[in-house]
A and B are shown apart, each in its own frame.
Chain A
Amino acid sequence: MSWARAATARLSGLFRRTRLERELDDEVRFHLDMQIEDNLKAGMNQSEARLAALRSFGAIEPMKERYRERRAFALVETTAQDIRYAVRTLRKSLTFTTTAVATLALAIGANTAMFSVVNAVLLRQLPYRAPEQLAMLWTGMPGQNLQGRPAYQTVEEWRRRSKSFADLAVVDGVSMTLTDSDGAEKISGVRISPNFFPLLGIQPLQGRSFSAEDADERRRVVLISHAFWQTRFGGSADAIGASIILDGRPSQIIGILPAGSNVPGFGADVWEPHTLFADWDTRRVSRNAGSWIVFGRLRPNVTVDRAQSEMSAIARVLDEELPAAERNRGISVVPLSLYVVGSRSRLALWMLTGAVFCVLLIAAANIASLSLARGVGRAREMAIRAALGASPLRIVRQLLAESVTLAAISGVLGSLLAFALIRLIRAFGPDDLARLNEASLDLRVLGWALGISLVTGILVGLAPAFTTFRRNGRPSGEEGGRSVSGGLASRRIRRALVVGEFALAIVLMAGAGLLIRSWWRVEGIDPGFRPERVLLMNITTNALVAPARRVNFYADVLEQVESLHGVESAGMIGDLFISGDAEPIVTTEGDGGITSGRLRLRLDEVSERLFATLGTPLHRGRFFSATDGPDSPPVAIVNDAMARHLWPGRDPVGRRIKFGPQDSNQPWFTVVGVVGDMRRQGLETEPIPQLFQPLTQNPSGNEILLVRTSANNPLAMVGTVQAAVRRVERNLPLYSVTTLEDSLGIYLAQRRFLTSLLIGFSLIALLMAAIGIYGLIFYSVAARTRELGIRMAIGAQAGDIFRMIVGEGLQLSLTGLAIGIVGALLVGRAGSSLLFGVTATDPLTFATVALLLTAVATAACYFPARRAMKIEPVVALRHT
């Protein structure tokens, strides 16, 4: 029993210097004083009396130590007794125990799994040095969520003027071709200023990071990712100093980064100095060319808010130095953690956490109600125990021990369940939710599971404990007798619990309803193209095909693919789905002459039949054709949004547009056509202005090949299409093969995750609320058999009884409904940014949910009410 002693020692420590300790001192002092007094009376002198008193008392400290041990040990001992007794009681009523454990384990498991997601995605710090000091800087007004990218000179200005930031680093992603003995392959790279990794606080695992000289002298040196190192070099130390061919030219590996050092959203295979862009000389000096993503580290004790107000002031000063058209319109400072997981994802996760917690509350209410029903039956047991000398506190502790033991078992099972659920969530959760794959059962999550289990246990045990001692603090034997219709206090609490369950259930149901309506709205949106039966793949010609040859090369590829059986048409576009929010300066010809200004727009090169392949309609003018060759005058097609923005109410065809301010030497594009808007940032985002130029006039190295097939499953055509492309160039890197429907679906993944989980939670809540009301009414009918018998004996009809019973249930569910609707309106307002195309007060949703819940409540009361109707008055009266 060394554990007992250890526990005793630990616990006795807790008691030192408490009130109890002072009382012991008082008691001992009183004893000694009394003895001394008696000794004095017996004729001893003061010191004799004192010594004799101490002698007869014996050693004081060892006695106190024994006293303390005894005090602490009793706690351990009685707790152990309570638990042993609890286990015995629970084993005796296996049905109750199984039901309760299964219900609570489910709820605790779901809560634990959900918390592990919140922990991984929202609570766990990013793996950088002092991550709370890291922020992203964009151009654009703060709060508008525009992620405009500044030019290099602009960043330099920010750096010079800002005092809030210790350092700023610039980053831009590139797609590169890696050539080795196996052929060519596309990899992703990020070009960074040398201070990027020091700013994050990341040290290379091996080798070194970039130096200022690497950047200044534009050395072809690279850092490689841990994954790249493992797959390409098998984790060998030889990688340092080795040479790899990137975009046709050799680069030397100088360092390897540790695993997990990727910034979410910037996962890359290789990193290069930011000066390696071919147009670096232009990028360096221009205020227009090149657009950078900026990472900043705040100085210690500078808040994001303070940095934001400083940067806003700097933005105003900088803008005053520029012509109106070239102004950046603000700088927005966004904490890195908020960039990694956006505010909408955060809100969605908290909402889900709240929802699953509601499920736990409903489950706990049901079990509390069930133990109340048992508690009435056990009132006699309690009364006997009290009569035998058990203190009220002891009985309350006994009841709590039972429910806490119950919850602890559920907690263990729930954690096991959570382990499985976390795997499910990681497998099926949205890919674009950063760090979701880090969700795990760590100590914090297990602590949470333990915490909610204990709280659940106490909540479940409190209600029976409370009703047991409601009367004069002593349990009364009579309440357990059948003469009283089963514990009034207990019934009142159980009714309140059912009302609470319905209130919570309707909040969840209303939330799920609003999300379902949003889902339908989103699904009903026309993306501006027909996504079915279209195959999508990326191709990279950077290293393989010189720019001069690309026009013909692309034409050959398209011809080969379109000649295939089963292919309706094929097209190419620079990039289809976009995230960039560049706000370049554009100069346009309008009715009022030539004007310039910043415009948030997207430019892509497209092949002749791209729009036909996508099924995007032509609204004015013409598509590109064979006449728009490399040497013919630059032409462009704009989308509706751009036409509306630049030439409202006018025909854009024939007008001209160019990049840069009025005096820029960029070429003028003549608009030849207007196409419908395509939602290229996901279905829920309004299309931004889009500008298209012929592929022939800008044959860049990375293109997306789109193939509209006549097959129902376009993926079946992948092999054929790849073979056709490789007939033109055997080594051409082809990657990210998918269907258009799937790529579009990625944007819906988070909404699907949120909606389906909330539907699941609300159905469980509804089921549990239904079981709760069923149990209550069933029990009430059973307990009132005699009363119902009397009623029938004096003339009540079966129908009256039926109405009375169902009415009792409906009264409870409607009360819950009323409370729940108020709650749902409040929650809906808080979560309204998660809705789409439906307001948080949508009457249709609320009416449907209210009707559904009432129907379920009625059904749950129907069966007990039927039972009540069948009561034989004679039997009922005799039975009691």
Chain B
Amino acid sequence: MGSRRTDKADVLQGTLILLVLRTLAALGPLHGYGIARRIEQISKDLLRLNQGTLYPALLRMEQEGWIASKWGASEQNRKAKFYSITAAGRRRLAKETAEWKRMSSTIDRFLGFEPENLAGERG
């Protein structure tokens, strides 16, 4: 589908999806604001996203069948849309997590090498 334009967003979105799935798996059903707050809390505000970008991502995840949504009442008894993770979402989470771990350990290892080690490796 892709035009070049969206490549960067896709990378970001991939991360976002992982975070959302993780959040929902850990905390159970949450509304959009709750998810955004949770992500900011956990990342200690290091990951500051435009909270608005969360919603298209949530829609996509719902279309993929990873999460489900339902209108309900918030803590203050206001009407809010609650998102929860599905079985497919849990599988996706497992897969993404494994991939992320593999990826980050690769990067870790890569970053752990000193330049001479790299040269030694080559030599």
Name A's B-contacting residues (CB within 8 A).
Answer: 1, 4, 23-24, 26-28, 30-31, 33-35, 38, 56-60, 63, 66-67, 70-71, 73-74, 77-78, 388-391
Write 11 A-B pairs (CB below 8 A) sorted by A numbering: A26-B81, A27-B32, A27-B55, A30-B32, A35-B33, A59-B52, A60-B52, A63-B56, A67-B59, A78-B63, A390-B65
Residue of A nearest to B80 (CB): A30
Pair B88/A389 contact, Cβ less than 8 Å: yes
Pair B59/A71 contact, Cβ less than 8 Å: yes
Pair B36/A31 contact, Cβ less than 8 Å: yes
The verdict on B8 contacting chain A, using a C-beta distance below 8 Å, is: no
* Interface pairs A-B: 10 shortest CB-CB: A58-B50, A389-B88, A63-B52, A58-B52, A34-B33, A31-B33, A66-B56, A74-B63, A389-B65, A67-B56
Name B's A-contacting residues (CB within 8 A).
Answer: 1, 3, 31-33, 36-37, 48, 50-53, 55-56, 59-60, 63, 65, 71, 74, 78-81, 86-88, 91
Residue of A nearest to B86 (CB): A389
Given A23-B81, A28-B55, A77-B1, 8 other A-B residues pairs in contact with their CB atoms under 8 A:
A1-B3, A30-B32, A30-B78, A59-B52, A63-B50, A63-B52, A70-B59, A70-B63
Task: Provide the residues of chain B in CB contact with A70, threshold 8 Å.
Answer: 56, 59-60, 63
Task: Provide the residues of chain A in CB contact with B31, threshold 8 Å.
Answer: 30-31
Pair B51/A26 contact, Cβ less than 8 Å: no
Task: Provide the residues of chain A in CB contact with B71, threshold 8 Å.
Answer: 23
Task: Provide the residues of chain B in CB contact with A35, threshold 8 Å.
Answer: 33, 51
Given contacts A30-B31, A30-B80, contact A24 B51 (CB under 8 A): no
Given contacts A27-B32, A74-B63, A389-B86, contact A57 B52 (CB under 8 A): yes
In the docked arrangement, what's the CA distance between A26 and B53, Å? 16
Residue of B nearest to A61 (CB): B52
In the docked arrangement, what's the CA distance between A26 and B31, Å? 12
Given contacts A30-B31, A30-B80, A390-B65, contact A57 B50 (CB under 8 A): yes
In the docked arrangement, what's the CA distance between A34 and B36, Å? 11
- Total contacts A-B at CB 8 Å: 74
Task: Provide the residues of chain A in CB contact with B86, threshold 8 Å.
Answer: 389
Task: Provide the residues of chain B in CB contact with A26, threshold 8 Å.
Answer: 79, 81
Task: Provide the residues of chain B in CB contact with A67, threshold 8 Å.
Answer: 55-56, 59
In the docked arrangement, what's the CA distance between A389 and B81, Å? 21
Residue of A nearest to B81 (CB): A27
Pair B65/A1 contact, Cβ less than 8 Å: no
Given contacts A70-B60, A390-B65, contact A30 B79 (CB under 8 A): yes
Residue of B nearest to A20 (CB): B59
In the docked arrangement, what's the CA distance between A78 and B71, Å? 25
Pair B81/A1 contact, Cβ less than 8 Å: no
Task: Provide the residues of chain B in CB contact with A66, threshold 8 Å.
Answer: 53, 56
Pair A63/B55 contact, Cβ less than 8 Å: yes
Nearest-neighbour CB distance to chain B for A202, whole angstroms, equals: 57
Task: Provide the residues of chain B in CB contact with A391, threshold 8 Å.
Answer: 65
In the docked arrangement, what's the CA distance between A66 and B53, Å? 9
Nearest-neighbour CB distance to chain B for A393, whole angstroms, equals: 11
Task: Provide the residues of chain A in CB contact with B36, threshold 8 Å.
Answer: 31
Task: Provide the residues of chain B in CB contact with A78, threshold 8 Å.
Answer: 63
Nearest-neighbour CB distance to chain A for B32, whole angstroms, equals: 5
In the docked arrangement, what's the CA distance between A71 and B71, Å? 18
In the docked arrangement, what's the CA distance between A1 and B4, Å? 12
Task: Provide the residues of chain B in CB contact with A28, threshold 8 Å.
Answer: 52, 55
Task: Provide the residues of chain A in CB contact with B55, threshold 8 Å.
Answer: 24, 27-28, 63, 67
Pair B56/A389 contact, Cβ less than 8 Å: no
From B32, B52, B91, name the one whose CB has the most chain A CB atoms within 10 angstroms. Answer: B52
Task: Provide the residues of chain B in CB contact with A34, threshold 8 Å.
Answer: 33, 74
Given contacts A389-B88, A390-B65, contact A58 B56 (CB under 8 A): no
Residue of B nearest to A394 (CB): B65
Task: Provide the residues of chain A in CB contact with B63, threshold 8 Å.
Answer: 70, 74, 78
Nearest-neighbour CB distance to chain A for B64, whole angstroms, equals: 9
Pair A58/B80 contact, Cβ less than 8 Å: no
Nearest-neighbour CB distance to chain A for B23, whole angstroms, equals: 15
In the docked arrangement, what's the CA distance between A4 and B1, Å? 9
Pair A388/B81 contact, Cβ less than 8 Å: no
In the docked arrangement, what's the CA distance between A1 and B48, Å? 32
Residue of B nearest to A2 (CB): B3
In the docked arrangement, what's the CA distance between A35 and B88, Å? 31
In the docked arrangement, what's the CA distance between A71 and B55, Å? 11
Task: Provide the residues of chain A in CB contact with B80, threshold 8 Å.
Answer: 27, 30
From A70, A78, A390, A391, name the one whose CB has the most chain B CB atoms within 10 angstroms. Answer: A70
Task: Provide the residues of chain A in CB contact with B52, threshold 8 Å.
Answer: 28, 57-60, 63
Residue of A nearest to B2 (CB): A1
Residue of B nearest to A77 (CB): B1
Nearest-neighbour CB distance to chain A for B59, whole angstroms, equals: 5
Task: Provide the residues of chain A in CB contact with B60, threshold 8 Å.
Answer: 70, 74
Residue of A nearest to B1 (CB): A1
Residue of B nearest to A35 (CB): B33
Pair B33/A58 contact, Cβ less than 8 Å: no
In the docked arrangement, what's the CA distance between A264 and B74, Å? 75
| Set A4, A23, A56, A71: member contacting B51, Cβ < 8 A | A56
Nearest-neighbour CB distance to chain A for B51, whole angstroms, equals: 5
Pair B79/A31 contact, Cβ less than 8 Å: no
Task: Provide the residues of chain B in CB contact with A389, threshold 8 Å.
Answer: 65, 86-88, 91
Pair A31/B50 contact, Cβ less than 8 Å: no
Nearest-neighbour CB distance to chain A for B18, whole angstroms, equals: 18
Residue of A nearest to B60 (CB): A70
Residue of B nearest to A24 (CB): B55
Task: Provide the residues of chain A in CB contact with B48, threshold 8 Å.
Answer: 56
Nearest-neighbour CB distance to chain B for A1, whole angstroms, equals: 6
